[in-house]
Amino acid sequence: MAVYTEVNEAELASFLADYDLGHVLALKGIAEGVENSNYVLHVDAGYFILTLYEKRVDERDLPFFLGLMEHLAAHGLNCPQPVRNRHGSALGRIAGRPAVIVTFLEGMWHGCPSVRRCAAVGEALGKLHRSGANFAGYRPNALGLDAWPALFEEARARADEVRPGIAEEIAKELTFLTGSWPRDLPRGVIHADLFPDNVLFVGDELSGLIDFYFACTDELAYDVAISLNAWCFEPDGSFNITKGLAFFNAYEGVRKLTASEIEAFSILARGASLRFALTRLVDWLNVPADALVHPKNPLEYFDKLCFHRKITSTRELGLLR
């Protein structure tokens, strides 16, 4: 459940007094998500999302996230829009937390995406990278390569409880990636978390991208690798090359990958796998016994890492050039 901070009636009324949204008709917690407290807010003006940012989100980063959503929407990408209050501010406080109201997007997410939906995501990611090229904001990737050794140290002592020998394998992979990571690829704004639960569809039509709270400035092709991993593997762990082909074709219909990005893609895909294996491993080993949020299995992404280690050409992923 993704409601960590409860909001009472008096707090909500005080917060909304600064907005021109009318009376509150309903407030309902949203179960999905693991980082922040989210509510569906129903007022006279319609439906909105109220988000309270929890301790893992640095309040200083919020202007970047909110400004990015406004920028992308202005360039034709459908994503939630911050609602500004009477003072012109999109950010306020409620129940002791920084909070924002954003517009409500129609649609639902799908846990086992079709080939057509994979193509739609590839196209949307290409548009995000193209539209973000002239975004003035900058935010370093707090969960990029430089952060992975510290994440590993949080889990190293108990990692083999999850799978025997995994600690040694991760240590070797970190050494390889640190020495091999490309440093001269095209960079810009990336979503960094474009998983199926962050993409909404009405039928097979993509209706919007959500949850930009890992967005940052990094290698664009790294974002492509994160998304490929999230969308083109089947529930049994096998890679679906038909989905990969649709994803890459749609992405390159908007933004062509450079030769250097294609050459480095195997390394980026391994890094994208390790990043989520590590954060999931830390969460898996440290979740309280009475937690309402069930941590995601880190072995899913360690297995994807093992898959990418065996790839000899991007053609095996569906990138046919």
Residues of the chain below pLDDT 70: 1-4, 32-34, 288-293
Is this structure's pTM higher than 0.85? Answer: yes
Q: Can you tell me the distance from the alpha carbon of 217 to that of 142, in angstroms, rounded to the nearest whole number?
A: 10
Predicted pLDDT at 3: 56
Task: For the chain, give every domain's residue range.
Answer: 9-103, 115-317
Report CA torsion sign: 97, 102, 105, 110. Answer: negative
Distant-in-sequence, close-in-space partners of 44: CB < 8 Å, separation ≥ 6: 21, 22, 23, 25
Q: Can you tell me the distance from the alpha carbon of 85 to that of 93, in angstroms, rounded to the nearest whole number?
A: 12
Predicted pLDDT at 75: 95
Report the SS3 class of residue 198: helix
CATH of 115-317, one of 3.90.1200.10, 3.40.605.10, 3.90.1150.10, 3.40.50.1860: 3.90.1200.10
Q: Indicate if 115-317 has the same CATH topology as 9-103.
A: no
Distant-in-sequence, close-in-space partners of 47: CB < 8 Å, separation ≥ 6: 40, 41, 104
Predicted pLDDT at 295: 78
Predicted pLDDT at 1: 41
Q: Can you tell me the distance from the alpha carbon of 257 to that of 255, in angstroms, rounded to the nearest whole number?
A: 6
Radius of gyration of the CA atoms of the chain, in A = 20
How many C-beta atoms surround the C-beta of residue 113 within 10 A? 22
Residue for token pair 């193509």: 119
Answer whether 132's CB lies under 8 Å from 188's CB: yes
Predicted pLDDT at 34: 59
CATH of domain 9-103: 3.30.200.20
How many C-beta atoms surround the C-beta of residue 291 within 10 A? 11
- Residue 205's H or E segment, with its range, is strand 205-209
Answer whether 44's CB lies under 8 Å from 23's CB: yes
Nearest to 273 by CA among 169, 130, 183: 169
Answer whether 44's CB lies under 8 Å from 21's CB: yes
